[in-house]
Structure 1
Amino acid sequence: MSEVGRHRIVRPEDFAALGPDNLEARLLGKPATMARRDVSRGAEVSLLSARKFWHALGFPIVEDDDAMFTEADQMALMAVARLVREEELDEQTALALTRAFARTTDRLAVWQTQLMAEALAAPGLEAALDEADARAVPDQAAARAAARKLADMADSLEPLLIYAWRRHLTAAISRMLADADPQQSSQGVRRVVGFADLVSFTSLVRRMTERQLAVMVQRFEALATDIVTAHGGRVIKTVGDEILFVTIDAAPAAAVALDLVETMAEDDLLPDVRVGMAVGPVLSRLGDVFGTTVNRASRLTSVAPGGGVLVDDALASALASVSGFETTALRRRTLRGIGEVTPSELRRAAGGRLGGRAPGTVAATSAASTLTDPRKDTP
């Protein structure tokens, strides 16, 4: 391997250690034999444009004459250049779209390689929080096996990636059209924003191995994502012990919050969660949400009790006419960076039905069986 700056550059011969399985050739079509000059010449773009595209993809600087590229790189560059030449997109927008693909697929690829390595190293580990193996990365045998497995499955997984992207693109366009209301506030679209985080996570970090923490966080993320999506919400991001979600309406947000609290309380492997929610305008950028509403929800989460849900006064008012839930105003308090607020505690109303769990909300550990046996229906 050679070095460019601080980054290690992987050459085709480095894959020879895996024996007959040349991963680069299998995943990209051919080994990397082309320099940037070859790619830019073949795509009929300048070296500067080729360099911008490579950076937008999220890869490190390489010398123009380093044989780091394949025909797949050239075809991708040609596709982006064609959009610009035909004036479908300006260069800045084309690079921004490339960057969006890159950031998303980078996280996806890392996530999938870790999942595969863990599955091959210790099947069923997700249910064993007391796993003794403290390794945070797979051993060499598991890494090699995962590499071969993913290379073998790439062609089968690719259609799923395209399908998921088109499905989410359809949903995103639909939301954009629905939000394109001339009466919408210039400050942003209106959303209910919620944060849920694991209680006492810092103390758990000190007592558990990295592998055990990874298992716990993975379980939390799987359960929380299932609950949010079951009620029609969207998971914006997860950061270790915390998940950020949004919904359009108040009732689904309340159902999400209470399901999160109840599900984690019933799970023997996870600590309690606390949830804070607020409603108001949000700014959506780069797949994330920003603004005072987001900050208010975050601050409410930090003061919520374990196993409890706090909402701001606007959300409490919106829920007042929704059956199945009830709120109780608490003492007025000052939240850092927000000011004075009157939070309300959210609970299910006695005998309420609309606050019940969404059909199909199941534990992540049992959901997989229905994929292989259609006779097993989810409760």
Structure 2
Amino acid sequence: MTEPGTEPGSEPGAEPGTGPSGRVSEDFTEQLLGRPLELRRRDVSRGAEVSLLSARKFWHALGFPVVDTDDELFTAADQRALAAVAGIVRDGLLDEQVALAMTRAFARSADRLAGWQSQLIAEAVEEHMSAALAEEGDDDEHETRSVPSVETATETARRLAELTDRLEPLLVYAWRRHLSATVARMLADADPESYGMTKMRSVGFADLVSFTALVRRLSERDLARLVSRFEALSADVITAHGGRLIKTVGDEVLFTTVGAAPAAAIALDLVDTMTQDDVLPAVRCGMARGPIISRLGDVFGTTVNRASRLTAVAQAGTVLVDATMARELASLSGFELTGQRRRILRGVGPVTPSLLRRAATTGRRQAPSPTVPDPSQRAGSRSDA
């Protein structure tokens, strides 16, 4: 949904189509929205049978600022979306506060998704342009830019406009699949015979060692490729063992599993995968097992904090686990645990970690690795999943 004054390429309150970015965005706005901009804000509110105040709440929940203008900047899809949320409230399926919270959840996820996918396309376009310039012996501009050029941005917009209708069914499909998996986990957690009154998880962190030095050494472009490579490899390893990737924050990934063994396999595979990679530095992992709190797609609590602090004290290429995790893994074949000295972890307190290794006689199931570019090479010679 597009809010007045916030079309792609414009600043809130700016006249649509003014300036170079405005002229460019005009060509793609209606294509990306899939409908013509033919409705005013009052038309949308009237058609959805809601007040302007309720409409404002909806726009805010979607993450758009309200700009008081009566230009034709809305589409029939905006009206249908507002009517759908209003109908859910009228039918008593959700109250207004919960309906707006659900809308915010969609909006935050969609905003990150749109940015992520646009960047992927822009990088692919930039890669192609850099390769062409490298053949001509002139790629300095594309190597040093930290933001896309007008040519790159325009081509990215064109490709996204062409792909939108084909990708939309995938978005709905992925949401339904993940919703089904989430409900299944919730039902399992609700079974008192499983874990009692708490949600028990194995929580793991993995972060790149010496990342600060890489930030100083690599260009922004190559650094972005390195982070993308780390995220792609980590995601493949985590999902291969049935884990859940909670979030990635630059040089760090956070994951959870229901059991202890899958988490241990993930951590060890992450260490091995990054060690064998010619581009990425080594990683270190910290894991803890215990109750967690899930909120807004993230996880919180003492267990999460303990895993994070253990990661911070782990050596490069090693995995440290807390006592609870160690006890569960001790009874399983395939793992070796070595007790470490007692530590006082900031914000956590005393912890006696164990060093986790793969048993010498145990084979390793290699997680599939995506094909990703090598940021240490120049664009012309480079052979995010």
- TM, length-normalised to structure 1: 0.88
Calculate the aligned-residue CA RMSD, in Å: 2.3
Distance in 2 between the 1:54 and 1:46 partners?
12
1:144 to 154, 165, 169: 154
- The structure-2 alpha-carbon separation of the partners of 1:3 and 1:47, relative to structure 1 and needing over 3 Å to count, comes to closer
Corresponding residue of 1:340: 350
Corresponding residue of 2:314: 304
Cα deviation 1:22-81 (Å, max 9, x = unaligned)? 322112233434332221111110111100111111111211635432221111000111
Corresponding residue of 2:168: 158
Corresponding residue of 1:98: 103
Distance in 2 between the 1:212 and 1:121 partners?
12
Assess if the C-alpha contact under 8 Å between 1:327 and 1:347 holds in 2: yes
Aligned-residue offset at 1:164: 0.7
Corresponding residue of 1:352: 362
Cα deviation 1:264-290 (Å, max 9, x = unaligned)? 011111000000000000000000000
1:237 to 214, 227, 247: 247
Corresponding residue of 1:197: 207
State the number of aligned residues: 354
1:1-379 mapped onto 2 (5 Å cutoff): 7-9=11-13, 13=17, 17-18=23-24, 22-63=27-68, 65-123=70-128, 133-182=143-192, 184-186=195-197, 188-353=198-363, 356-358=364-366, 361-365=367-371
Assess if the C-alpha contact under 8 Å between 1:195 and 1:297 holds in 2: yes
Determine helix, strand or coil for the equivalent of 2:37. coil
Which letter maps to 1:115?
L
Distance in 1 between the 2:55 and 2:330 partners?
57
Distance in 1 between the 2:249 and 2:361 partners?
35
User: Which residues of structure 2 form unaligned runs of 5+?
Assistant: 131-139, 374-385
Which letter maps to 1:81?
A
Assess if the C-alpha contact under 8 Å between 1:134 and 1:212 holds in 2: no
Distance in 1 between the 2:177 and 2:39 partners?
35
Aligned-residue offset at 1:223: 0.3
Distance in 2 between the 1:9 and 1:270 partners?
44
- The structure-2 alpha-carbon separation of the partners of 1:63 and 1:366, relative to structure 1 and needing over 3 Å to count, comes to closer
Distance in 2 between the 1:220 and 1:32 partners?
40
- The structure-2 alpha-carbon separation of the partners of 1:270 and 1:175, relative to structure 1 and needing over 3 Å to count, comes to same
Distance in 1 between the 2:70 and 2:214 partners?
50
Determine helix, strand or coil for the equivalent of 2:144. coil
- The structure-2 alpha-carbon separation of the partners of 1:9 and 1:256, relative to structure 1 and needing over 3 Å to count, comes to farther
Assess if the C-alpha contact under 8 Å between 1:12 and 1:24 holds in 2: no
Cα deviation 1:94-120 (Å, max 9, x = unaligned)? 111111111111101000111101101
Aligned-residue offset at 1:366: 7.0
- The structure-2 alpha-carbon separation of the partners of 1:3 and 1:106, relative to structure 1 and needing over 3 Å to count, comes to closer
- TM, length-normalised to structure 2: 0.87
Distance in 2 between the 1:219 and 1:191 partners?
27
Distance in 1 between the 2:14 and 2:39 partners?
14
Cα deviation 1:183-226 (Å, max 9, x = unaligned)? 5454x400000000000111111112111110110000000000
Assess if the C-alpha contact under 8 Å between 2:58 and 2:82 holds in 1: yes
- The structure-2 alpha-carbon separation of the partners of 1:323 and 1:33, relative to structure 1 and needing over 3 Å to count, comes to same
Assess if the C-alpha contact under 8 Å between 2:229 and 2:372 holds in 1: no
Aligned-residue offset at 1:9: 4.5
Which letter maps to 1:60?
P
User: Which residues of structure 1 form unaligned runs of 5+?
Assistant: 126-130, 368-379
Percent identity over the alignment is: 61
Aligned-residue offset at 1:136: 2.2
Distance in 1 between the 2:99 and 2:254 partners?
29
Assess if the C-alpha contact under 8 Å between 1:228 and 1:234 holds in 2: yes
